[in-house]
């Protein structure tokens, strides 16, 4: 039995049921009409900058982000803090480089933004395939973690119960996406961010109070109990066992900064802003929220090491994914009163909401792309009622296989899947968006080469990393086909993604580049300034 005993488990179960009931009710009440595509895909762009900013931050901060970053901070110290800061830098890249052009050119999906310059069904189909390929691995991570998370909180260890939790959470994600649409999932993210940041700030303050609000004492105690001494507070601990630790860290940071900014379920929130000013204000709120999260997760992650010890954290999970919860529990000490039990329940409920909201948004993004970019683009004249029905059915078509796969991979290391999502976004989507929005001579052939070539590079290199085999914490610990010298593919696959786009543009000939330049000049005012109708607002 884990947690604070039967009382805490009972409170957590009641809180989970209440959270599911409330969120389902909100999705039903705010769900779009059957015949209104703008309401389903964008929520009529009716969210205020604050609410839209919280929704963007909620999309960006997944349950895997909370648990993984907290674990890396607890086990690796300085390197984990750098990882947390990289998540903030990624959102700044999105804010200053891509947010406004995406809002100006996109309508419902990433395929809309890309097809604005390069119209054609092949562009939309490939964009849909890359969207699904980059999000499904992350969805598997979220769902497969459900059983482990609830087992830790509620104190059970049965595999059938864990599988049941995965199926239940998966069914909820489909319902949220199909019924709530963009506005319903946005409200879910707003609730999640309020709960996550609110409970996290309280826990962080309690951690600091334990050390008399002296950060030096907190970090000193963490270094002492880490078993690594001063190395805990210096760079290099996370990748110390690899052949090229410095380059490995650079590769990881590139994948996170570029990949996190370009994941399709994050960029789709740009299309919900009604004006350039609104998207700027929304991103300001999102960056502020994520900055607060980075501060909170740093204090809690280091606090976990200082209070529990690195060995105690690794004993619960070798990758440290329970560090956030362990710190939330340990900060109360041995004698726990009812208010403290309720606070711990609030923390666990916030993480549960984070998981549900994240997978719902990813499901919605995949379903929207499948319905709008593949099916609706093939059938001209499809009515809004038919397309919204297709989008809802697509949520089931995407979600059902993901639930099955999540149940199958739940006992393996999930880090390769999360890394795969970030690397695909950084190596294929980021070059495609940057070239499409800012390079005048970029051609359709270059776009397809970027999307296909960047994705292929990641899929070829990823099986050779030590996340898949060759280490005790790999997905296949008993096998060893590790041949790639880095943990992530970013250092090689990101330059390849940009190179494929350049080659695909330069090889066909000068005439193709001139035609591409003419098409860009035709849409350049739209990319840089947006539609005139919205400019006057």
The answer on pLDDT for 26 being more than 80 is no
Q: Closest Cα partner for 454 from 507, 492, 508?
A: 492
SS3 476: strand
Residue 98, both tokens: 């891509």
The answer on pLDDT for 95 being more than 90 is no
The answer on pLDDT for 435 being more than 90 is yes
Distance CA 441, CA 381 (A): 32
174 inside domain: yes
pLDDT of residue 35: 60
Q: Is 6 exposed, middle or buried (0-12, 13-18, 19+ CB in 10 A)?
A: exposed
Q: How far is CA 118 from the centre of its chain?
A: 28
Q: Closest Cα partner for 55 from 403, 370, 365?
A: 365
SS3 188: helix
Residue 168, both tokens: 């239940």
426 touches 258 (CB < 8 A) = yes
pLDDT of residue 534: 42
Mean pLDDT computed over every residue of the chain: 85
Q: Which long-range contacts (CB under 8 A, 24 or more apart) does 85-88 make?
A: 85/294, 86/253, 86/256, 86/257, 86/260, 87/60, 87/61, 87/256, 87/260, 87/290, 87/294, 88/287, 88/290, 88/291, 88/294
Distance CA 294, CA 81 (A): 8
Distance CA 518, CA 62 (A): 41
Distance CA 354, CA 361 (A): 11
59 inside domain: yes
1 inside domain: no
SS3 106: coil
Distance CA 311, CA 344 (A): 22
Please enumerate in sequence order all residues whose Cβ is within 8 A of that of 303, keeping only pairs 6 or more positions apart, or say none. 204, 207, 210, 218, 222, 327, 330, 331
pLDDT of residue 2: 45
The answer on pLDDT for 459 being more than 90 is yes
Q: How confident is the model at residue 536 (pLDDT cuts 50, 70, 90)?
A: very low
pTM of the complete model beyond 0.85: yes
498 inside domain: yes
The answer on pLDDT for 452 being more than 90 is yes
Distance CA 403, CA 177 (A): 15
Q: Closest Cα partner for 482 from 226, 208, 242, 144?
A: 242
Task: Give the residue with greater pLDDT, 375 vs 28.
Answer: 375
74 touches 300 (CB < 8 A) = no
Residue 341, both tokens: 């039990």
Question: Minimum mean pLDDT among 78-82, 240-244, 312-316: which range?
Answer: 240-244
Question: Minimum mean pLDDT among 42-56, 246-260, 402-416, 474-488: which range?
Answer: 42-56
153 touches 147 (CB < 8 A) = no
67 inside domain: yes
| Helix ranges restricted to H, 94-120 | 99-105, 110-115
The answer on pLDDT for 217 being more than 70 is yes
pLDDT of residue 44: 54
138 inside domain: yes
pLDDT of residue 5: 55
In this structure, what CATH number is given to the domain that contains residue 443?
1.20.1730.10
467 touches 487 (CB < 8 A) = yes
The answer on pLDDT for 507 being more than 70 is yes
DSSP state of 48: -
Mean pLDDT, to the nearest integer, of 508-515?
A: 79
Q: Total structural domains in the chain?
A: 1
340 touches 347 (CB < 8 A) = no
478 inside domain: yes
pLDDT of residue 3: 42
What percent of the chain lies above the pLDDT cut of 70? 92
Q: Closest Cα partner for 58 from 295, 256, 286, 274?
A: 286
The answer on pLDDT for 315 being more than 80 is yes
Mean pLDDT, to the nearest integer, of 458-470?
A: 91
Distance CA 317, CA 192 (A): 25
391 inside domain: yes
pLDDT of residue 43: 63
Task: Give the residue with greater pLDDT, 437 vs 275.
Answer: 437
What one-character-per-residue DSSP string does 377-406 give? HHSTT--HHHHHHHHHHHHHHHHHHHHHHH
The answer on pLDDT for 501 being more than 70 is yes
What percent of the chain lies above the pLDDT cut of 90? 31
pLDDT of residue 353: 85
How many C-beta atoms lie closer than 10 Å to residue 94's C-beta?
A: 26
SS3 109: coil
Exposure of 122 in the CB half-sphere (CA atoms within 13 A): 9
Q: How confident is the model at residue 433 (pLDDT cuts 50, 70, 90)?
A: very high
Mean pLDDT, to the nearest integer, of 234-258?
A: 86
Domain housing 239: 6-535
> Each residue of 180-215: pLDDT tens digit?
888 888 888 888 899 899 999 999 999 999 999 999
Distance CA 285, CA 526 (A): 25
> Each residue of 146-189: pLDDT tens digit?
877 777 777 777 888 888 888 888 888 888 888 888 888 888 88
The answer on pLDDT for 46 being more than 70 is no
Instruction: Outline where DSSP puts E strands in 137-256.
Output: none
Distance CA 501, CA 259 (A): 17
Q: Closest Cα partner for 269 from 39, 103, 431, 433?
A: 103
> Each residue of 365-406: pLDDT tens digit?
999 899 888 888 777 767 778 888 888 899 999 999 999 999
């Amino acid at each position: 039995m884990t947690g604070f005993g039967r009382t805490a488990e009972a409170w957590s179960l009641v809180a989970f049921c209440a959270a599911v009931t409330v969120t389902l009710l909100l999705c039903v009440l705010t769900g779009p009409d059957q015949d209104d595509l703008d309401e389903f895909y964008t929520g009529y762009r009716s969210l205020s900058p604050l609410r839209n900013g919280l929704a963007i931050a909620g999309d960006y901060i997944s349950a895997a982000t909370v648990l993984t970053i907290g674990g890396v901070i607890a086990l690796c110290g300085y390197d984990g803090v750098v990882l947390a800061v990289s998540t903030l830098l990624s959102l700044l890249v999105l804010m200053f480089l891509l947010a406004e052009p995406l809002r100006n050119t996109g309508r419902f999906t990433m395929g809309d933004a890309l097809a604005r310059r390069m119209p054609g069904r092949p562009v939309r189909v490939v964009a849909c395939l890359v969207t699904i390929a980059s999000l499904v691995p992350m969805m598997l991570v979220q769902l497969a973690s459900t059983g482990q998370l609830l087992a830790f909180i509620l104190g059970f260890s049965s595999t059938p119960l864990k599988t049941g939790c995965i199926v239940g959470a998966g069914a909820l994600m489909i319902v949220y996406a199909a019924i709530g649409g963009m506005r319903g999932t946005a409200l879910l993210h707003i609730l999640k961010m309020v709960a996550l940041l609110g409970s996290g700030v309280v826990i962080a303050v309690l951690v600091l109070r334990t050390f008399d609000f002296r950060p030096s004492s907190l970090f000193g105690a963490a270094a002492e109990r880490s078993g690594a001494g001063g190395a805990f507070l210096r760079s290099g601990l996370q990748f110390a066992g690899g052949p090229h630790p410095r380059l490995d860290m650079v590769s990881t940071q590139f994948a996170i900064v570029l990949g996190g900014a370009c994941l399709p379920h994050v960029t789709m929130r740009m299309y919900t802003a009604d004006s350039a000013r609104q998207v700027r204000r929304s991103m300001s709120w999102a960056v502020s929220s994520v900055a607060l999260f980075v501060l909170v997760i740093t204090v809690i992650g280091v606090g976990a090491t200082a209070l529990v010890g690195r060995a105690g954290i690794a004993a619960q999970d070798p990758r440290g994914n329970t560090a956030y919860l362990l710190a939330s529990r340990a900060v109360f000490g041995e004698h726990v009163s009812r208010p403290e039990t309720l606070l711990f329940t609030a923390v666990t409920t916030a993480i549960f909401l984070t998981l549900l909201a994240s997978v719902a948004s990813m499901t919605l993004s995949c379903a929207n792309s499948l319905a709008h970019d593949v099916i609706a683009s093939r059938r001209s004249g499809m009515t809004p009622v038919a397309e919204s029905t297709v989008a809802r059915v697509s949520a089931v078509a995407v979600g059902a296989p993901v639930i099955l796969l999540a149940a199958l991979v739940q006992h393996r290391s999930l880090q390769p899947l999360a890394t795969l999502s970030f690397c695909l976004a950084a190596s294929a989507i980021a070059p495609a968006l940057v070239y499409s929005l800012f390079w005048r001579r970029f051609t359709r052939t270059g776009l397809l080469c970027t999307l296909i070539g960047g994705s292929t590079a990641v899929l070829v290199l990823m099986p050779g990393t030590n996340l898949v085999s060759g280490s005790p914490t790999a997905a296949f610990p008993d096998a060893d086909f590790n041949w790639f010298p880095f943990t992530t593919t970013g250092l090689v696959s990101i330059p390849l993604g940009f190179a494929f786009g350049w080659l695909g543009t330069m090889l066909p000939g000068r005439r193709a580049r001139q035609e591409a330049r003419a098409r860009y000049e035709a849409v350049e005012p739209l990319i840089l300034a947006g539609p005139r109708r919205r400019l006057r607002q």
